[in-house]
Amino acid sequence: MPSEEIVTTAILKIFRERLMLEVESPEQDLLSTGALDSLRLVELLFQIEQEFSVRVELDELDIEDLRSARSIARVIVNQQVLDGSHV
């Protein structure tokens, strides 16, 4: 199972290559900067499902889970543990 750091790097790559959004650091606040709007959130969740073979339910997320690439990676790693997924 990939570490949180590996998943964070992959999330940053998704932002850059698939969402065409440059995120300055893994801790950048994606919400207060407006980088993660509702349309990008839907696309991000789709890309996460494709990349990591996990399903992240929007209604199970807390707003803080979406605050940064690192917090998003933490959600993915935790979901993989719950699912028993291996990527």
Contacts 24+ apart (CB under 8 A), 28-36: 28/68, 28/69, 29/67, 29/68, 30/66, 30/67, 30/68, 30/69, 31/63, 31/66, 31/67, 36/66
Domain range annotation of the chain: 4-83
Tallying the residues shown for the chain, one arrives at: 87
22-79 pLDDT, tens digit each: 999 999 999 999 999 989 999 999 999 999 999 888 888 899 999 999 999 999 998 8
The domain over range 4-83 is classified in CATH as 1.10.1200.10: yes
Residue, of 86 and 44, whose pLDDT is higher:
44
pTM confidence score: 0.88
